[in-house]
C-alpha cells in the first residue's frame, strides 16, 4: 500500500524548475529579502481566494478575517479591502486593525482574558466586544459608564456541541472560551439592565476542518442555537457570527474543502434566518482559509550530512521560525507539511531526506523522511501552506537567532 501524498500544491507556478511568487522567481525574492530565511505572501492569491468565496457562498453573507492567522500589517491592510469585518484577540491586533482604516463597528474583539485597559481601548475606539463571561460584561458596562460611551457588545457562546473532525476544538464541554449556552439566557437578562449596545452572538466551535459534512452539521446546530437564545435577547440581534472552521490541506492524504455543499446549505438557512431574525446578518469568521495557502516559508541549506544511512539537510531555519511545520503547534503525531527545494523543484536527482534546522534539539524538524530533490548548501527550502500561524506563533527569540523577514508581493 502506497503512503498518502500531499494534495497538489499548484498555487505557485514553477518556471525553469524554480518556484514563482507574484510572478517573480523565489531566488530573486530571496535577494530582495537579504537572504533566507523569510516568509513571503502573495496578495494575488488572497484576492483570488476571496473572489472564490464571494462567487461560491450566498449573497449577503458577512465574511470576516481573523487577523490572528496572519497579523502582518501589510497583510491586514490588504485583507481589509476584501472582507466585511475583522476579528482581533488583543489590543495589539486591535491597533493593527484600526490602522487599516477599517470601520471600528465591524471590528470584533474576542478572547477570554481581556484586561481592563484593553476593554477601555476597544470601547473608546468603538469596536464590538465579544463578551466571554458575565464578569467581563459587568466590567465593560462600568468602563463604558466611566468613558461616557455605550459599548457595542455581542455574547460569545460556548455551545454544548463541537465541530467534529476539527484540528482545534473551541466548543463543547468545559471551555475557557465564551459563556456556556445554558447560562446565556440569564446573562442576557442582566445585559438588558446595563448600558450596553447588544448586537448579537458569536458562536465558534472549531477550526481547521476539511469535512464539509461536519461544517454543515455545526452550522445547522449553531443557527438553531442562535434562534433559541435570541428569544431571550434584550433587543433584536443584528450580528450572528456562526464561526468558521474551514481548513486547508496541510498533511499527506488531506484534500481541499469543497465549498458547494456548504454554500447550498447556507443558502437555505440564510433564507430561513431572514424570516425568523429579520434584523440579523449571518457572518462567518475565517483566518487560515483566507491566507494560509498564499504564503511560503523559505530557508537556506547550510550543510548536508549522512547519519547511519539517512540524509540530513541542515538549514538556517526551523521550529523557532515555523513552529507549526516542525510539528510542535498542536500535532499529536508529527506529520510533514508540503516541502520542496524551491530553486530546483523537480531536479535531476531525487532522494529521501530529513530537513532540519540549526537548533540544539531533536524537535527542530521541517521534513522527516521526505522525497525531495537532492539538496546542497545554497539551495532554498520552501514550506507551503505557511501564510497562516507561522511567524507570529513561533518562538522567534529561541536561542538568539535573527528573526526571518516578511514580504508581501
DSSP for 237-262, written as a single string: --EEE----B----STT--PPPHHHH
Distance CA 47, CA 191 (A): 39
Q: Is the pLDDT of residue 164 over 60?
A: no
pLDDT at residue number 14: 98
pLDDT, position 207: 81
Specify whether the CB–CB gap between 361 and 395 falls below 8 A. Answer: no
Domains 14-41+293-408 and 103-286 share a fold: no
Asked whether residue 171 carries a pLDDT value surpassing 90, the answer given is: no
Kind and range of the H or E run holding 97: helix 91-99
Task: Band the pLDDT of 111: cuts 50, 70, 90.
Answer: very high
- Res 354: pLDDT: 98
**What would the mean pLDDT of 161-189 be, rounded to a whole number?**
74
φ/ψ region of 313 (left if φ > 0, alpha if ψ in -120 to 50, else beta) reads beta
304's grid cell: 548536508
Enter the CATH code of domain 14-41+293-408: 2.40.37.10
Q: How many residues does the chain have?
A: 409
What integer is the mean pLDDT of 327-350?
93
Query: In 196-342, where do the E strands start and end?
Result: 197-203, 206-207, 239-241, 281-286, 295-307, 310-315, 339-341
- Residue 162: predicted pLDDT: 65
CATH of 103-286, one of 3.40.50.10800, 3.40.50.1820, 1.20.1250.20, 3.20.20.10: 3.20.20.10
Does the model's pTM come out above 0.85?
A: yes
Q: How many H-runs (helices) and E-runs (strands) does the chain carry?
A: 11, 22
Q: What is the dihedral of CA 186, 187, 193, 198, to 10 degrees?
A: -130
Q: What is the pLDDT of residue 332?
A: 76
- Give Dmax (Cα) for the chain: 72
Reading the block at residue 97, the C-alpha cell is 486593525
Taking alpha carbons only, the member of 189, 187, 196, 91 closest to residue 132 is 187
> With 60 as the cut, is the pLDDT of residue 165 above it?
no
Residue 3: predicted pLDDT: 78
How much is the pLDDT for 240? 96
**Residue 177 in this model has a pLDDT that exceeds 70:** yes
Rg (CA), the chain: 23
Lowest mean pLDDT segment, chosen from 89-98, 173-182, 259-268? 173-182
Please answer whether residues 46 and 83 qualify as being in contact, where contact means their C-beta atoms are separated by less than 8 angstroms: no
- pLDDT given for residue 350 in this prediction: 97
Q: Where are the domains of the chain?
A: 14-41+293-408, 103-286
Residues 264 and 255: their CA atoms lie apart, in Å, by 20
Mean pLDDT of all residues in the chain?
95
CB 100 within 8 A of CB 107: no
Q: What is the pLDDT of residue 174?
A: 59
Amino acid at each position: 500500500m502506497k503512503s498518502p501524498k500531499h494534495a497538489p500544491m499548484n498555487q505557485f507556478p514553477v518556471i525553469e524548475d524554480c518556484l514563482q511568487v507574484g510572478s517573480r522567481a523565489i531566488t530573486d525574492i530571496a535577494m530582495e529579502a537579504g537572504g533566507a530565511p523569510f516568509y513571503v505572501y502573495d496578495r494575488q492569491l488572497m484576492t483570488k481566494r476571496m473572489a472564490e468565496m464571494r462567487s461560491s457562498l450566498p449573497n449577503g453573507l458577512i465574511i470576516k478575517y481573523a487577523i490572528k492567522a496572519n497579523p502582518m500589517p501589510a497583510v491586514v491592510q490588504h485583507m481589509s479591502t476584501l472582507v466585511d469585518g475583522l476579528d482581533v484577540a488583543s489590543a495589539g491586533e486591535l491597533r493593527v486593525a484600526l490602522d487599516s482604516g477599517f470601520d471600528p463597528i465591524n471590528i470584533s474583539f474576542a478572547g477570554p482574558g481581556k484586561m481592563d485597559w484593553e476593554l477601555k481601548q476597544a470601547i473608546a475606539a468603538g469596536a464590538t466586544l465579544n463578551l466571554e463571561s458575565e464578569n467581563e460584561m459587568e466590567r465593560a458596562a462600568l468602563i463604558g459608564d466611566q468613558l461616557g460611551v455605550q459599548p457595542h457588545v455581542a455574547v460569545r457562546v460556548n455551545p454544548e456541541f463541537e465541530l467534529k473532525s476539527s484540528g482545534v476544538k473551541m466548543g463543547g464541554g468545559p471551555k475557557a472560551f465564551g459563556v456556556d449556552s445554558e447560562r446565556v439566557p440569564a446573562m442576557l437578562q442582566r445585559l438588558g439592565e446595563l448600558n450596553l449596545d447588544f448586537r448579537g452572538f458569536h458562536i465558534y466551535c472549531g477550526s481547521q476542518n476539511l469535512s464539509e459534512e461536519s461544517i454543515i452539521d455545526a452550522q445547522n446546530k449553531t443557527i438553531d442555537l442562535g434562534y433559541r437564545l435570541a428569544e431571550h435577547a434584550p433587543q433584536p440581534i443584528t450580528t450572528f457570527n456562526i464561526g468558521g472552521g474551514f481548513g486547508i490541506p496541510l498533511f499527506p492524504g488531506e484534500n481541499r474543502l469543497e465549498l458547494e455543499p456548504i454554500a447550498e446549505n447556507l443558502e437555505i438557512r440564510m433564507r430561513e434566518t431572514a424570516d425568523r431574525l429579520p434584523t440579523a446578518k449571518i457572518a462567518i469568521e475565517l483566518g487560515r482559509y483566507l491566507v494560509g495557502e498564499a504564503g511560503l516559508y523559505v530557508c537556506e541549506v547550510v550543510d548536508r550530512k549522512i547519519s547511519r544511512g539517512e540524509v540530513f539537510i541542515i538549514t538556517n531555519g526551523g521550529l523557532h521560525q515555523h513552529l507549526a511545520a516542525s510539528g510542535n503547534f498542536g500535532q499529536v503525531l508529527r506529520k510533514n507539511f508540503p516541502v520542496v527545494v524551491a530553486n530546483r523543484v523537480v531536479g535531476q536527482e531525487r532522494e529521501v531526506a530529513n530537513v532540519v534546522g540549526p537548533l540544539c534539539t531533536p524537535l527542530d524538524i521541517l521534513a522527516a523522511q521526505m522525497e525531495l530533490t537532492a539538496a546542497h548548501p545554497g539551495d532554498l527550502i520552501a514550506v507551503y501552506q505557511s501564510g497562516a500561524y507561522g511567524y507570529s506563533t513561533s518562538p522567534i527569540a529561541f536561542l538568539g537567532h535573527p528573526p526571518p523577514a516578511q514580504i508581501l508581493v
